[in-house]
Amino acid sequence: MARPPRKSRDGQEVGPGRPPLHSRFRRGQSGNPKGRPRKARDLGELIDKELDQIVSVTESGKQRRLSKREILIKGLINDALKGDRKAQAMLLPYVERTREHGDQLSELDPAEIARFALRYLPRDDEESSG
């Protein structure tokens, strides 16, 4: 059963849902003026946010809108195709994992990957002799 409101010293009714006038929020004033503190972002979230930003780039004479993540990956693939061994070393484990798990590579054809590997990557007999 709800308790009946009681009277304060100055004659106001006070009780559950009826705080004394002096302690009530003022009209237009928040009860929590600073608000909830923002959650601190970790480094991974900050990097993801930056990489997901869309920018305009010119590719083959055409303006395109790509995320920074897509531009980074395109640059890595282009460097690998130009013979950059570090770029190749970064990409090949991903390509191999993708092939093993049967995942689809977006925009990369398995035949193109095979041609790339044959053309640009050293074979076991070349590495042992060089």
Tens digit of pLDDT for each residue in 86-102? 888 888 888 777 776 66
- pLDDT, tens digit, 9 for 90 and up, residues 57-97: 998 899 999 999 988 888 888 898 898 888 888 888 887 77
Q: Residues 6 or more apart from 98 whose CB is under 8 A from it?
A: 104, 105
Kindly indicate the confidence band of residue 129, based on its pLDDT and cuts at 50, 70 and 90. very low
Query: Rounded to an integer, what distance in angstroms lies between the CA atom of residue 86 and that of residue 27?
Result: 64
- Using CB atoms within 10 Å of the CB of residue 59, give its burial: 0 to 12 exposed, 13 to 18 middle, 19+ buried: exposed
